[in-house]
Amino acid sequence: MRENKVADLLIQLRKDHGFTQSALADQLGVSFQAVSKWERGENLPDAFTMVELARVYDITVDEILKGEVVKKELSPKTDTRRGLIIGIAVAMIIIAPVSIFVFGTQNWNYYVPSILIIIAISVLAIIYASMSGERIEKYSKVTKEQKRKEEIIYAFCAGIFMILGLGFDLFNIAWVVFIFGYALTLIVKK
């Protein structure tokens, strides 16, 4: 009974992470026949391989042996950090234009670029905090590596959008960058 549960979990984890039996075997330094035996419930990985499997799948050995993955929640520390980043970014967006009232409109050409840069940095911080806080669910089809690649792609898109918008006043067409970014994420998922 227990081995079937472990075998089912190993099959599900391998498929969720997009590995073939052969690719997983290569990564672990074992034969694909060994992986096949684990998944048929005929055998269990040795202790060292079990540790490596846990590392590859970002779970614990205990979860493998029990045959079920415990759903991981964000720690309160992570939630607090995300909230702090978003709060500071929103405050910067609100406070940045206040300098117009403080310094007046006579010298606007000196401080408006600074305001725009502060707002751009704040928007990027909000995007980062929002994306880095997302969890990958127990049997998600997106691996952590794919999620990281998507975050990098969208961060670059946001940066290019801000550069085109602020530097060349092309906000009206710069949003197209996100369409290309989305297309690139679809390529990454394959």
pLDDT in tens, 5-39: 888 999 999 998 888 999 999 989 999 899 999 99
User: In this model, does residue 107 exceed pLDDT 80?
Assistant: no
Instruction: Tally helices (H) and strands (E) across the chain.
Output: 12, 0
Q: Name the residue among 92, 114, 111, 93 with its Cα closest to residue 101.
A: 111
Q: 10 Å Cβ neighbour count for 157?
A: 22
Residue 119 confidence (pLDDT): 82
Pick the CATH number of 2-66 from 1.10.760.10, 3.30.70.260, 1.10.260.40, 3.90.550.10: 1.10.260.40
User: And the tokens for 139?
Assistant: 């049997």
d(CA 105, CA 99): 9
pTM more than 0.75:
no
pLDDT for 150-170, tens place per residue? Answer: 888 888 888 888 888 888 888
What letter represents residue 161's amino acid?
F
Residue 72 confidence (pLDDT): 61
User: In this model, does residue 45 exceed pLDDT 80?
Assistant: yes
Identify whether the C-beta of residue 125 lies closer than 8 Å to the C-beta of residue 159.
Answer: no
Q: Name the residue among 101, 118, 100, 119 with its Cα closest to residue 110.
A: 100
* CA pseudo-torsion sign 60, 62, 63, 64: positive
Residue 1 confidence (pLDDT): 45
DSSP class of 169 = -
User: And the tokens for 173?
Assistant: 């067409």
User: In this model, does residue 181 exceed pLDDT 50?
Assistant: yes
Tell me which of 110 and 2 has the higher pLDDT.
110
